[in-house]
Amino acid sequence: QTYSGLFCVTVNPYKWLPVYNPEVVLAYRGKKRQEAPPHIFSISDNAYQFMLTDRENQ
């Protein structure tokens, strides 16, 4: 597992995957990128945290 750089890779499995439930959200909230496997929640939470600390739009 790895993070991508300046591009976004998407996969549509055409079926429901349990990757967006509340437990997953809580597992990534407030953690640094190195503390959890790559997931869209870590990217969005990271942007949100930077917005709060730097007080700049992302």
pLDDT of residue 34: 80
Instruction: State pLDDT tens for residues 1-52.
Output: 666 666 666 777 788 878 778 888 888 787 777 888 877 777 777 778 888 8
- pTM for this prediction: 0.48
pLDDT of residue 58: 56
pLDDT of residue 2: 64
Both tokens of 23, joined, read 């437990």
Q: How many domains does the chain have?
A: 1
CB-based contact 27:19 (threshold 8 Å): no
Domain extent at residue 5:
1-58
